[in-house]
Amino acid sequence: MASNLKGKKIAILATDGFEQAELTDPKKALDEAGATTFVIAPKSGEIKGWDEKEWGETVKVDKVLADANPNDYDALILPGGVMNPDHLRMDPAAVNFVRQFVSSGKTVAAICHGAWTLIEAGALTGKTVTSWPSLKTDIKNAGGHWVDQEVAIDGQFITSRKPDDIPAFNKAIIEAVSQGARDHASV
């Protein structure tokens, strides 16, 4: 993934219970591509990951959600895990941050259960997306079209299903940020 994202700022919105690989792997890939990533959370300090079946490592919070401005970032990543997006979609400040980001037209990438926050923000109407399979009905009920593939790209949205899809997810994010949000329906 030889790409130069120097000067690009990427927001990663998460809280306790994020699926560890779905935050740390994209963060590492984007940092290696030259971007600067910022973990944004509702609380300061650290947030704790979930590593498949048990608690994982903690990640340093770079900015508290209350102090974060969507206009300061070139893209937004929403990691999954079950607990993380379930808490975020119940947090009006997190939903508002996502809603503002979506309205900017900049790249928004969600993996696994991360699409729950996009649903709560009312962002998926008419969009083709993928996610963890259990969100299929939620996405359809929110007006989206669910597909079962490793990456779905629809305009500014990049979505993936699970940790196994992370390499394709990372590649799509890096391409989108380096080129700007794309307008084709699906890959």
Give me the domains of the chain, ranges plus CATH numbers. Answer: 9-179 (3.40.50.880)
Q: Which residues contact 179 (CB under 8 A, 6 or more apart)?
A: none
d(CA 73, CA 67): 13
pLDDT surpassing 70 at residue 3: no
d(CA 51, CA 68): 27
pLDDT surpassing 80 at residue 173: yes
Give the predicted TM-score (pTM) of the model.
0.94
- Of 155, 157, 159, 168, which Cα lies nearest the Cα of 135? 159
142-152: b (≥16 Cβ within 10 Å) or e? bebbbbeebbb
Q: Which residues carry out catalysis?
A: 112-113
Structure letter (DSSP) for residue 33? T
Q: What is the mean pLDDT of the chain?
A: 94
* Residue 127, token pair as written in the block: 């969009």
pLDDT score recorded for residue 82: 95
Q: Over pLDDT 90: what percentage of the chain?
A: 93
pLDDT score recorded for residue 181: 45
pLDDT score recorded for residue 119: 98
Residue 47: pLDDT band (50, 70, 90) is very high
